[in-house]
Amino acid sequence: MVKTLYACSVCGYIYEKKEDAEKCEAYCRKHNACSLAITSLAVGNISK
Ligand SMILES: [Zn+2]
């Protein structure tokens, strides 16, 4: 079974839950930076 993952299109962090990716994206857009509380939930990063 393939797991669907969701990436923040701003910072490139990958999340298992769509809502976490959306939270990250909203935060990144607003603050132009990532929230550590949110990125600690990330399972990976596509930019590296
Ligand atoms: Zn982000």
Q: Give me the residues near ligand 1 (ion), CB cutoff below 5 Å.
A: 8, 10-11, 24, 28
Could you tell me which of 18, 8, 1 has the C-alpha nearest to residue 44? 8
Could you list the residue range(s) of the whole structural domain that residue 13 is in?
A: 6-45
Q: How do residues 19-44 score in pLDDT, each as one tens digit?
A: 999 999 999 999 999 999 999 999 99
4: Cα separation from own chain's centroid: 13
pLDDT exceeds cutoff 60 at 48 = no
Q: Rounded to the nearest whole angstrom, what is the distance from the C-alpha of residue 4 to the centroid of ligand 1?
A: 17
Q: Rounded to the nearest whole angstrom, what is the distance from the C-alpha of residue 42 to the centroid of ligand 1?
A: 9
Q: List the structure tokens of 15.
A: 């999340």
Structural domains counted in the chain: 1
Sheet-wide strand order for 44-45: 6-7, 13-15, 44-45
- C-alpha distances in angstroms, 43 versus 12, 31, 39? 11, 22, 9
Which tops the pLDDT comparison, 25 or 47?
25
> Could you tell me if residue 16 is inside a domain?
yes
Could you tell me which of 19, 26, 21 has the C-alpha nearest to residue 7? 21
> Could you tell me if residue 1 is inside a domain?
no
